[in-house]
Amino acid sequence: MRTVLLAAVLSVAVAVLCVAVMLSVYPASARPASAQLSITDLGTLGDDYIQSRANDINTRGQAVGTSTKASGESHAFRWEKGEMTDLGTLGRFTSGALAINDRGQVIGQSRTALGDLHAFLWENGEMIDLGTLGGGFSEVFAINSRGQVVGQSTTASGQLHAVLWSK
């Protein structure tokens, strides 16, 4: 019994030592490609945009985020199959996409024509202002598969309340 136990312990020790030696001898860049992740450059919205940031991805491989110009103007985007689509704004020069569900519905924030920051839902090519509870501010945090959106909004008296938007 002791011999079997000793043999099992030695086998595990040898296996661990072999893995450690292989990892130290072969750096990550020299390991087989199948052991490495691939990286895809999603790009920006165009030549005058200098940076972009992806914030979420759904199971269909659609990603959303924000692309920014040198001037600071930023627009929400949806990326799918190598193409980045500008989602627009609610009237001013700034928007950003935060999340996307498996139906392709996108949520984020945008400046309105009055300069207020409002939550939006983008679907079927249209950005929809989700509005507020009477104040000048709303933001989103998550969207589920039914298209329900949660976030927060200011009331007319300036209080900040949790909200649920649903159709």
Q: Are residues 87 and 145 in the same domain?
A: yes
Distance CA 167, CA 165 (A): 7
Looking at the domain assignment, is residue 44 inside a domain?
no
What is the C-alpha end-to-end distance of the chain, expressed in Å? 68
pLDDT, residue 127, reads 98
pLDDT, residue 28, reads 54
pLDDT at 56 over 50: yes
DSSP string, 114-165: TS-EEEEEEETTEEEE---BEEEEEEEEEE-TT--EEEEEEETTS-EEEEEE
Count: domains in the chain: 2
Q: How far is CA 152 from CA 43, 75, 98, 140, in A?
A: 31, 21, 14, 7
The tens digit of pLDDT for each residue in 137-157 reads: 999 999 999 999 999 999 999
pLDDT, residue 123, reads 97
The tens digit of pLDDT for each residue in 84-139 reads: 999 999 999 999 999 999 999 999 999 999 999 999 999 999 999 999 999 999 99
HSE (side-chain half, CA atoms, 13 Å) at 17: 6
Q: Are residues 15 and 96 in the same domain?
A: no
Looking at the domain assignment, is residue 43 inside a domain?
no
Q: Are residues 9 and 88 in the same domain?
A: no
pLDDT at 34 over 90: no
Q: Are residues 69 and 110 in the same domain?
A: yes
Residue 16 banded pLDDT, cuts 50, 70, 90: very low
Q: Are residues 106 and 136 in the same domain?
A: yes
Q: Are residues 23 and 80 in the same domain?
A: no
Q: Are residues 66 and 25 in the same domain?
A: no
Q: Are residues 25 and 53 in the same domain?
A: no
Looking at the domain assignment, is residue 109 inside a domain?
yes
Distance CA 167, CA 148 (A): 7
Query: Considering the chain, what is the average pLDDT of its residues?
Result: 86
Q: Which domain holds residue 155?
A: 49-165
Q: Are residues 31 and 110 in the same domain?
A: no
Q: Are residues 74 and 147 in the same domain?
A: yes
